[in-house]
Each structure stands twice: as C-alpha cells, then as structure tokens.
Amino acid sequence: MTYSGKWIHIDLSSGHSKTGTADIGLYDRYVGGKGVGFALLDSLAPKPEPLGIDNPLIFVNGPFTGTQVQTSARTCLVTCSPLTRNILDSHCGGHFGPRLRAAGFDYVLITGKADHPVTIQLSPQGAEIQDASSLWGKGIFETTDTLLSAHPGRNPRVACIGPAGEKLLKIACIGVDKYRQYGRGGAGAVMGSKNLKALVVDGDLQIEYADPNAFKELNRALTHDIARNESVLFRRDKGTMKCVRSGQEFEFLPTRNFQLCRFDEFEGISSETCRRELNWEDTGCFNCAIQCSKIARWDGHEVEGPEYETAAFLGSGCGISDCRDLALANELCDDWGIDTISAGVTCSFAMECYEKGLLKDWEGLKLEWGNADAQRKLLRLMVQRKGVGKIFADGTREAAQWIGQGSEDFAVNIHGMELSGVNPKGSLTMGFVLSVADFASHTRLWCTEAEMGPEFRIEDIPTVVADGLDEINTRNCLIICDFVPYGFDRLAPLLNAATGSSHTPKSLLQIGTRLTHLARRYNLNNGRTHEDDILPERFFKEPSLSGFMRGRILDKTFFRSLIQKYYRHRDWNAQGIPSPEVLRSFGLSS
C-alpha cells in the first residue's frame, strides 16, 4: 500500500524524536491529509495556545502523495491557527510532500520550542536538529538556497519561514521549494514560535501499491483523460489567472477592498498580459501534466506566479493594474514569508482607511488606490513590525480593533481570516460558503451562482454548499489537486488499488462529512460561536453588484435564516452545535 505506515514526532524542547507505526484505523476513518491531520490535532491538542509549545505542527501526506497519480505533489499542514484560534489545514504543491514520503513518513509531528533557532533535517534515518542562528533574519529564498547547497542528499526539499514567521505575524506563511506556500492562517508564526527556521527532507524510499496492476491500469486511464480534458488545457494556458477575466465578466472580482466587483484596468493584470509581460514559462508541481503554474521572469526578477488570489488582493483589491508591480509584491511576500491573500486584503483595508482619513499620521505613506510603491512600503513595515506597519501586521481584524471608528465594517475577514476567492457582493453562494466553512478560504468550495446552473435557486444554497464542503473535505484527505476534473467514481477505485482499502464514492463522502462535524466541534471548543458565521457588515450595508442579489442590499435576517437551514441540514442546533446523536453516528465524542 502507498502508506508507509510510519510517523515521526520531534519535540524541539527536549531535542528528542521518536518514530512509530501508524494506526491503520486512522487511515480507514480519515484516509490521510486534512482528515488524519485534524484527527491528530483534535486528540493531541484539543485547546492549544496557537503560539504556545503545546500547539503541534503536523505535516501530513495523503495516500497519493509521491505516487504516480497526477498532482500527487500535494501535501497538507495542520495546526491551530494564530489568526483564528481555530483548526487550520493548509495545502501546497511543489516537491516537498513527495520527498517527505520518500523519507519514509506519512506524517511528522513537531511540538515544543527550541531555545535557539534550529532546522530539522529529516531522512529515512530519522531527524537531526541543527543550529540555524546564522539563518535567522534571512528571507525564504536565501534560506532555501543556503540549506540546499549545504545538504549532502540527492534531492532535498525545504520548507522554511522568513522574517514574517520569525516576528510571529499572524498572517505569516511557510515557504516551500521557494515559491510554494502553506499560505493561510499564520502557520509561519507557529513555526517561528518554535524557533524552527526550516524543515529539510530527503530520501529515496520507494512506494508500494496494494494492487500494482489494477493501479497501473486505472492510473493510466486517468492520466490519459486528464491530459486531454479541455478545461485542463485551458488551465495550462491561462493558469489560475484565468479567473481575473472571468471575475471581471461574471462580476465577482474583488476590487478596492471589496467595494466593487469589476476593475476597469483588469487587463493590466490578466493572464494574457502576464504571459506577455512577465515572460511566463509553464511549469508544474511534482508529477503533474496540468502545469497550471507559471514562472515569471522580468527585469532580473524571478518568481512563480502570480496566482489568481494574489492578483485579486494585491492587485485589483488595491487598485493596482501593472502586472510587474503585482509580481514584485508577490515576490516580496514569498521571500518575507507572508500570505499574499491576507497581506493583500490587509493592504486594501489600509488603503480604505487612508481614503477615509482614519489615522492621524501615516508616516509619509501615500496609500492611494493603485499606489504600488506605497503598498510595498507598507508590506515592508508590516513584516518589520515597524511604525504604522505594526497596526496592520496581524491582519484586518486586529488592525480594525486598533483603529476603530467603524472600520470593523470593512475589515473583510470572518473570525479573523481574510476572505479569499470572490467578492461576496458578486456571489451570495460564495459569501455563504465563506461564512460556514471551517475557515473562510476559497479552497473550501469554489462556486458562483452562474456555475451552479440555471436551475440553481437561493433556497438550494444551504444543502448544495453542505454537500460541496464535504466533498472538498474528502478531496483534501486524498489530497488530490482541486484542478483534477474528476470525482470519486474515478478516485475511489484508484485509492483502493493504491492502498488496499475498499471505499466507495459514498463512503468517501461520509469521511468528508465526519470531518465537517469534527472541525465544527473543535472550533466551538476554541472560541468560535454561531455569531461568527457571518459576513462583515459591509455586505449587509452596501448593495450587492451581481448574482442573486444584484442591485439589492443583502438582508442579514434572511442570510441568518439560510444559515439556520444549513445547521438543521447538518443536525446542528440553532447555535450551530452538533447534536450528540450526529457526533455519535460519525464515531465522534461530544
């Protein structure tokens, strides 16, 4: 089977590590990835202090990570988010996950805190902790290059933090293979709180398949179909940046801090302009024929991207229309180790505060819409926690608490997490997804009314979203890339051939539902209430601009009634608390 069946736990406080044999029952119940990570976090740290020693970092692979399955690069990180104090799963591609698998581990648990900066070197021989004092303060690019050049292995891979993680910014990310990220929710700050600068993995262990012949045949057919799928070919050509144009056309493109759904100058940051101006080269993660990633090279700079989310928040969100400015901000964020989505939303929030004159002293920053130079200066100050940057360093919620004066209404976060994906003024359905998901991320479920078909009705939102969230949960357990356009009818047999399990599409979906209940219970125990399942006030005070609510102001009572319908569908009470019966039916305690 493709699982190695082994884990390693590294305690940075003592400097000791131990390995063990994985509980196969855990894989039966949760498959891998997000599911196994959530179950581990729930049992090991049900109520941790996010930046305390008891909050583990759990790097966890899925059953396909490192295998011959297309998009098998994907790997998952689970921890308790300092941004939301809720459960966090963050996913990334690149080559790190496959290398972790080749080192022989399904998951790595890191707890405690080193008394000085360290790196962990992980290989089939185990973990070695090394001094990293000379790397502290360095950016992700230099750190990665330094560690790779010093590593004796054949194909090492690096996950590390930059200055943002060291300074514990709650929007700090972990950089992987330089240009990939465990981006959302402040995982970089958790790593920084442990004085852990980097995790380096290497190995060359082979993966075995439960039924190699069946696997080969199923995988060959899937690969064949992916390679010829029209949506895949389009995605390879345009990248995720295709959504800039569709966001403009369908009117959901976050613009000027979610005030607008269209950006007059969107062509400047469109996929087509980026390909031309940034000399894009198609590239991809480990074993991926889709190749949605793009290497940008311009004026002596090089970065992978920009991705759509980066464009939507550091670009149109801030009124910035030059793709070189966008790519430069992208490069700085990747190097300093700050999530481009939260950073972009926070910059756009700052620009609106500037427009409204909510701070007496901006220390010379002219944060007008479209001022890319001022945006870069603000990002630098945030990462350094200096001057006005201190106010914005931990995202919009904390900034609005500091600034007050009604700024909470347009600090666009849900329970601390900056919104991603689309502007809810352009898609009620997406606003609903972001409100009820375990955290407000575009990776939970991507849907706009237009994409749900002409028969789709407002009253369908709660049940359709519930099913969609569960399905994506399971995909995040398999850790198949969002961009594989096939469902469980193809993936269940492949999983069974790979691991020897006997899943059906239905049993896989049940795992996603179990995970929804588990995450809900965890989050309620960690401070979330039903009052938090709501969009920021902006969306109830200003007219929606497209979708179901075009031209109308979304009524909060109506929105709450949809949420109540969602709770009932889940068998949660009016406070959004899962009933003991439903928890028991999924094998979870109350």
Encoding tokens for residue 388?
Answer: 């006005």
Q: Which region, judged by CB under 6 A, interacts with ligand SF4, from 57-65, 256-264, 290-298, 516-524?
A: 290-298
Q: Which of 253, 290, 430, 497 binds ligand SF4 (CB under 6 A)?
A: 290
Q: Report how far apart, in Å, the C-alpha atoms of 430 and of each of 5, 172, 510, 557 are.
A: 38, 25, 23, 18
Encoding tokens for residue 179?
Answer: 């240009």
x/- binding map, residues 430-469, to ligand SF4, per CB under 6 A?
----------------------------------------
Smallest separation (angstroms) from ligand SF4 to the CB of 280: 13
Q: Which of 288, 333, 381, 422 binds ligand SF4 (CB under 6 A)?
A: 288
Smallest separation (angstroms) from ligand SF4 to the CB of 361: 42
Q: Residue 31, SS3?
A: coil
Contact 393, 387 (CB under 8 A): no
Per rule CB under 6 A, is residue 165 in the interface with ligand SF4? no
Per rule CB under 6 A, is residue 243 in the interface with ligand SF4? no
Smallest separation (angstroms) from ligand SF4 to the CB of 176: 12
Q: How far apart are CA 88 and CA 189, in angstroms?
A: 13
Per rule CB under 6 A, is residue 73 in the interface with ligand SF4? yes
Q: Which of 98, 186, 188, 284 binds ligand SF4 (CB under 6 A)?
A: 284
In 3D space, the residue among 398, 399, 392 whose CA is nearest the CA of residue 343 turns out to be 392
Site for ligand SF4 in 74-93 (CB under 6 A): 93
In 3D space, the residue among 442, 436, 438, 408 whose CA is nearest the CA of residue 539 turns out to be 408
Q: Which of 136, 456, 483, 486 binds ligand SF4 (CB under 6 A)?
A: 483
Torsion sign across C-alpha atoms 264, 269, 270, 273: positive
Per rule CB under 6 A, is residue 176 in the interface with ligand SF4? no
The C-alpha angle with vertex 418 and arms to 416 and 420, in degrees rounded to 5, equals 145
Torsion over CA of 217, 219, 222 and 228, rounded to 10 degrees?
Answer: -90
Per rule CB under 6 A, is residue 62 in the interface with ligand SF4? no
Smallest separation (angstroms) from ligand SF4 to the CB of 72: 8
Q: Which of 189, 196, 285, 491 binds ligand SF4 (CB under 6 A)?
A: 285
Contact 252, 427 (CB under 8 A): yes
Q: Which is nearer to ligand SF4, 10 or 222 (CB)?
A: 222
DSSP 8-state symbol, 260:
B
Smallest separation (angstroms) from ligand SF4 to the CB of 539: 29
Query: Backbone phi, then psi, for 164, in 5-degree steps?
Result: -60, -45
In 3D space, the residue among 588, 556, 557 whose CA is nearest the CA of residue 572 turns out to be 588
Smallest separation (angstroms) from ligand SF4 to the CB of 314: 19
Q: Which region, judged by CB under 6 A, interacts with ligand SF4, from 28-36, 112-120, 291-299, 521-529?
A: 291-299
Q: Which is nearer to ligand SF4, 73 or 253 (CB)?
A: 73
Q: Report how far apart, in Å, the C-alpha atoms of 151 and of each of 54, 146, 154 are.
A: 30, 9, 8
Q: Which region, judged by CB under 6 A, interacts with ligand SF4, from 29-37, 110-118, 287-295, 413-421?
A: 287-295
Per rule CB under 6 A, is residue 478 in the interface with ligand SF4? no
Smallest separation (angstroms) from ligand SF4 to the CB of 232: 8
Per rule CB under 6 A, is residue 481 in the interface with ligand SF4? yes
Per rule CB under 6 A, is residue 71 in the interface with ligand SF4? yes
Smallest separation (angstroms) from ligand SF4 to the CB of 337: 20
Per rule CB under 6 A, is residue 261 in the interface with ligand SF4? no
Encoding tokens for residue 233?
Answer: 């070919």
Q: Which of 130, 291, 384, 507 binds ligand SF4 (CB under 6 A)?
A: 291
Per rule CB under 6 A, is residue 293 in the interface with ligand SF4? yes
Per rule CB under 6 A, is residue 181 in the interface with ligand SF4? no
Q: Which is nearer to ligand SF4, 483 or 540 (CB)?
A: 483
Encoding tokens for residue 279?
Answer: 């000399």
Contact 133, 195 (CB under 8 A): no
Q: How far apart are CA 373 and CA 356, in angstroms?
A: 20
Q: How far apart are CA 478 and CA 472, in angstroms?
A: 10
Encoding tokens for residue 471?
Answer: 């399905």
H or E element that contains 284: none
417-448 b/e with 16+ CB inside 10 Å = b?
bbbbbbbbbbbbbbbbbbbbbbbbbbbbbbbb
Q: Using CB under 6 A as the criterion, which residues of the chain lie in contact with ligand SF4 when the complex forms?
A: 71, 73, 93, 284-285, 288, 290-293, 481, 483
